[in-house]
């Protein structure tokens, strides 16, 4: 699923369409608003559960961390960032080098009250990745270049949603790389 570790990989975008509202043709407009899932439901999101895990143990021993964010503004900001990223998938027709950075993955679920809207997996180190799944459809992209530029507040929004400083969210030297491969990232 995600590009992990070092080496050279070829980036490709999945052929799957965007996650959108799944509403029957006979549903009324008000039912459509209630039934929206995935990126069509960002404005309805009120809760997100986030689970952090390590792909490999590192000297810092950051370990796992699970939290539930119930502030709708913070929940919607990170959900919106993820949706902006997958709506602008990174495309490259040439191999790229991914940094040898094993580290943090975040996964979780967005809810509107008790209703599940979407799940996500965010690989926050090495070649950053995001996958958003809703209504049985997944969208995936590498987070670099123009894709990263589509959600410039990602780092700050992740830190705010987790209630931690960016250094605890990404670790030293693990910022989103808006420059793409072969260009340095910014913190």
For the chain, the domain total comes to 1
Predicted TM-score (pTM) of this structure: 0.68
Round to whole Å and give the CA distance between 11 and 34.
36
The answer to whether residue 13 sits within a structural domain is no
35 versus 150: which is more confidently predicted? 150
Instruction: Give the orientation angle of helix 72-87 with respect to helix 154-162, to 10 degrees.
Output: 140
The stretch 103-116 carries a mean pLDDT of 92
Q: Do the domain assignments include residue 118?
A: yes
Question: Which residue carries 């929940």 as its tokens?
Answer: 75
**Segments in 88-153 forming alpha helices (H):** 146-149
Using alpha carbons, select from 107, 147, 109, 138 the residue that is nearest to residue 123: 107
Residue 5 lies in a domain: no
pLDDT digits (tens, 9 = 90+) for 16-40: 333 333 333 333 343 444 577 789 9
Per the CB < 8 A criterion, the answer to whether 181 and 97 are in contact is: yes
C-alpha closest to that of 109 among 123, 95, 122, 119: 119
In a domain, 151, yes or no: yes
Q: Is residue 104 part of a domain?
A: yes
Question: How much is the pLDDT for 36?
Answer: 79
More confident residue, 175 or 22: 175
Range of the domain at 152: 32-170
pLDDT of residue 34: 55
How high is the pLDDT of residue 112?
96
Tell me what pLDDT residue 125 has: 81
Span 4-10, average pLDDT? 36
Whether 62 and 74 have beta carbons less than 8 Å apart is answered as no
SS (HEC) of 103-120:
CEEEEEEEEECCEEEEEE
Q: Are 171 and 50 in contact (CB under 8 A)?
A: no
In this predicted model, which residue has the larger pLDDT, 111 or 11?
111
Q: How far is CA 172 from CA 104, 140, 166, in A?
A: 11, 25, 9
Over 90: is that where the pLDDT of 150 sits?
A: yes
Residue 183 maps to a domain: no
User: Is pLDDT larger for residue 28 or for residue 171?
Assistant: 171
Q: What is the pLDDT of residue 63?
A: 62
Paired residues of 48 in beta bridges:
69, 110
Give CA–CA dist 53/94, Å, rounded. 30
- Whether 166 is covered by a domain: the verdict is yes
Q: Is the pLDDT of residue 61 over 70?
A: no
Residue 182 lies in a domain: no
């Amino acid at each position: 699923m995600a590009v992990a570790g070092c080496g050279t990989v070829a980036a490709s975008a999945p052929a799957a369409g965007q996650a959108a509202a799944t509403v029957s043709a006979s549903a009324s407009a008000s039912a459509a608003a209630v039934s929206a899932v995935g990126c069509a439901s960002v404005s309805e999101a009120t809760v997100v559960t986030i689970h952090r895990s390590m792909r490999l143990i590192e000297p810092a021993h950051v370990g796992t961390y699970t939290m539930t964010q119930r502030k709708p503004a913070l929940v919607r900001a990170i959900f919106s960032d993820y949706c902006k990223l997958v709506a602008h998938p990174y495309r490259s027709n040439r191999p790229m080098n991914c940094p040898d950075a094993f580290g943090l993955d975040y996964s979780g679920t967005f809810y509107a009250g008790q209703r599940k809207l979407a799940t996500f997996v965010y690989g926050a180190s090495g070649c950053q990745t995001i996958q958003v799944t809703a209504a049985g459809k997944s969208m995936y992209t590498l987070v670099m270049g123009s894709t990263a530029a589509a959600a410039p507040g990602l780092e700050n929004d992740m830190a705010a949603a987790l209630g931690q400083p960016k250094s605890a969210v990404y670790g030293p030297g693990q910022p989103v790389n808006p420059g793409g491969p072969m260009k340095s990232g910014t913190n």
